[in-house]
Chains A and B, each alone.
Chain A
Amino acid sequence: DAGVIQSPRHEVTEMGQEVTLRCKPISGHNSLFWYRQTMMRGLELLIYFNNNVPIDDSGMPEDRFSAKMPNASFSTLKIQPSEPRDSAVYFCASLLTDTQYFGPGTRLTVL
């Protein structure tokens, strides 16, 4: 199994642009999580899905952030419009029983 796949690995964009991060979870995993990691706040859970349904989006910072999971093998996290304070590493993880498995992350830089 290839593990959790995220794309792109790096994204540099200008303030105001739309950014879309993508995630393919491990096949057979029923839950998917989006995290943001910054130096100041560490790993923050943004949103998670169970069987493609959003369960808890209380960590989504504001309306500029949205996430979708149209099917069991794909999820997106969109930021529109992006701001410099959104610069961080964004991780996707999928869950098997009690253990989350992480992708390599997308490093986002908003200029």
Chain B
Amino acid sequence: DQQVKQNSPSLSVQEGRISILNCDYTNSMFDYFLWYKKYPAEGPTFLISISSIKDKNEDGRFTVFLNKSAKHLSLHIVPSQPGDSAVYFCAASAAGNNRKLIWGLGTSLAVNP
């Protein structure tokens, strides 16, 4: 049972445009959400996170939006750059569970020049 779902396995975007990556979750106990980026032959690297007490968190070109009622979060990248081409993972955790992360299967983003 996938508690964290990334329904789009891949996404292709033109350089300079907005990339929107989506993530849905089913467990209402999740209170912390993270996005990781992964390049081939490297480990995932932390990108941005959001606590359930917020609905938006912004860091430079990256913004994460959280809609708790819909159990949905999204990552916006504006403007997209070719170097953003990677696999993006959504992950969630619940307090009191030693911050064990539940991961989505990832979305492969290709930013075309």
Contacts and interface: CB of A to CB of B under 8 A. Distances in A.
Interface of B: prevailing SS: loop
Given A42-B103, A42-B104, A43-B103, A102 B45 contact: yes
A98 B42 contact: no
A12 interface: no
A55 B45 CA distance: 24
Contacts, number: 49
In this complex, the interface size class of chain B, counting residues with CB under 8 Å from chain A, is: 20 to 34
A101 B46 contact: yes
A104 B46 CA distance: 13
A91 B46 contact: no
Contact of B46 (A55, A56, A99): A99
Interface of A: prevailing SS: strand
A99 B89 CA distance: 14
A56 to B, nearest CB: 7
Contacts of B98: 31, 48, 50, 55-56
In this complex, the interface size class of chain A, counting residues with CB under 8 Å from chain B, is: 20 to 34
Contacts of B42: 104-105
Interface in B66-113: 89, 93, 98-101, 103-106
Interface of A: 4, 31, 33, 42-43, 45, 48, 50, 55-56, 91, 93, 95, 98-105
